[in-house]
Amino acid sequence: NETSDMESRMYAKPAEVEAYLEGEPEKPFILCEYMHAMGNSLGGMEKYTSLEDRYPMYQGGFIWDYVDQALMKTDENGVEHMAYGGDFNDRPTDYNFCGNGIVYADRTISPKAQEVKALYQDLKLVPDAGGAEIENRRLFTDTSDLEFVWLALRDGVPVHSERFCAQVKPGEREYVSVSAPELTEPGEYVYQVSAVLKREERWAAAGYETAFGESCRVIGSDDQCAGENRADAGSVPFTVIHGDVNIGVKGDGFHVIFSKQEGGIVSLVYDGREWIGKLPMPVYWRATTDNDRGNKFSVSSAVWYGAGSFPLYDSKTCVVEEGKDCVRVSYTYRLATVPETVTEVVYEVDGEGRITTTARYFGREGLPELPLFGMRFCISGTGGGFE
């Protein structure tokens, strides 16, 4: 307390920072270095910035760093490219350890910079079908220097846009309505709002976007009334068929085959088109990044590669539960970890052919960091594409 007015650490995990803040500290916390921006990175930054909303004593951190340290080099074919350690026959070398900026060495923007901009923006914008809520997180100035652009898209096609101004005071929020028509046609609707500069500033041109917000909703033709009408029209009844090896589920325009022997969905057909190319399974591994290789994560967490590649499944653990116009099929997989862990996957099929998939991993102490947890669905060649 006699040497500094704040507490600080390098690369403390979000949970560690939160543990300090939960202790009602006397001094604020700031990360003197965090979010090492080498290669494909900054994907988990929201876990840090979300602390700002919950803990006034969290003051953020300093990203390492702003720009890649790379040099322009011309190869034997006369092509210029950015070069780093090792490209100049220098040994020993740290190779691309100098490439850890949120912009490239020539100052072009990387996806990492876009992530930082979105999480550091000084406005929180929440659009919906009728307008947008604007929260001004600035400390001293209102939003009179900005113009707001509201846009609605249906299935990716713009259907209405509107511009408006709002003078929201620092630290306050305001909802602004737009005169958009009621949009009721079935489809996926995306609502967007941008804040852009009215005038040119020393640091950006007029029209530059300073903040952005987005939300979406789906208006379907398969709501409850549509489903009832479809049933009244003589649709295929929802049926569950129990076999020695498989469980079949069929309804109007779809059928699903669950394998008790294989441990998952082996066929999923909608309107005559097969979608399953390979058994859907839980996944625990992902491609490694430059930061992973730098801290030997690929070695320390390699057990998870084996866990996803060689799960142990026993058909006796397959559980089928039937309800009214729905069925739940559960599978349990034992993983080749030490100590052993278990994952449960539950598929719930309703009368309209919707499948809700829930995966639960039951962890144990003493295991290395988990790179990823999710489900891998491999689509068949006849499936084509989807939106």
pLDDT digit string, tens, across residues 79-114: 999 999 999 999 999 999 999 999 999 999 999 999
- 121-219: CATH class: mainly beta
pLDDT band, residue 387 (cuts 50/70/90): low
Average pLDDT on 167-173 reads: 97
d(CA 82, CA 78): 13
d(CA 112, CA 190): 24
Average pLDDT on 347-359 reads: 94
Residue 271 near residue 253, CB atoms below 8 Å: yes
pLDDT band, residue 386 (cuts 50/70/90): low
d(CA 288, CA 309): 16
CA neighbours within 13 Å on the CB side: how many for 223? Answer: 9
99: left (phi over 0), alpha (psi -120 to 50) or beta: beta
d(CA 235, CA 251): 8
Q: Which residue has the higher pLDDT, 43 or 127?
A: 127
Distance of CA 178 to the CA centre of its chain: 29
Count Cβ atoms within 10 A of the Cβ of residue 112 and give its class: 0-12 exposed, 13-18 middle, 19 or more buried. buried
Residue 161 near residue 191, CB atoms below 8 Å: no
Residue 223 has pLDDT above 60, yes or no: no
pLDDT given at position 7? 95
Neighbour count for residue 63 (Cβ, 10 Å): 21
pLDDT band, residue 383 (cuts 50/70/90): low
DSSP secondary-structure letter at 168? P
Average pLDDT on 245-260 reads: 95
d(CA 119, CA 137): 12
The predicted model scores a pTM of 0.79
Q: What is the largest CA-CA distance in the chain?
A: 80
CA angle in degrees (0–180, nearest 5) for 310-267-243: 90
Per-domain residue ranges of the chain: 7-108, 121-219, 279-379
Q: Where are the alpha helices (DSSP H) in the chain?
A: 14-22, 46-49, 51-54, 111-120, 224-232, 290-294, 297-300, 303-309
d(CA 120, CA 23): 26
CA angle in degrees (0–180, nearest 5) for 231-237-238: 115
Residue 192 has pLDDT above 80, yes or no: yes
Average pLDDT on 356-374 reads: 95
Residue 229 has pLDDT above 80, yes or no: no
